[in-house]
Amino acid sequence: MPVRTCRGCGRKASRATLLRFVLVEGCLVEDQQAVLTGRGIYCCNDPVCRARLAKSKKIGNRTEPMR
């Protein structure tokens, strides 16, 4: 099973247990079915991790708030 890293806390987990987000027209959108094109960003299903992801300097300056 593929392993991904949460961009909020850095924890490594299987892809199936993390949420996937993709940039769509400058907005960070949750990709529940993993079908959107583009580079995915993975995050735990934890409000703290999601808040850290939204504030991340690596992606935050390129995005609007999460939808």
Q: Higher-confidence residue: 57 or 4?
A: 4
Residue for token pair 């993975």: 42
User: Hey, is 17 helix, strand or coil?
Assistant: helix
What is each CA distance from 48 to 13, 35, 45, in whole angstroms? 17, 25, 9
> Looking at residue 66, what is its pLDDT?
53
Q: Higher-confidence residue: 1 or 47?
A: 47
Mean pLDDT for the stretch of residues 40-48: 93
pTM of the model: 0.77
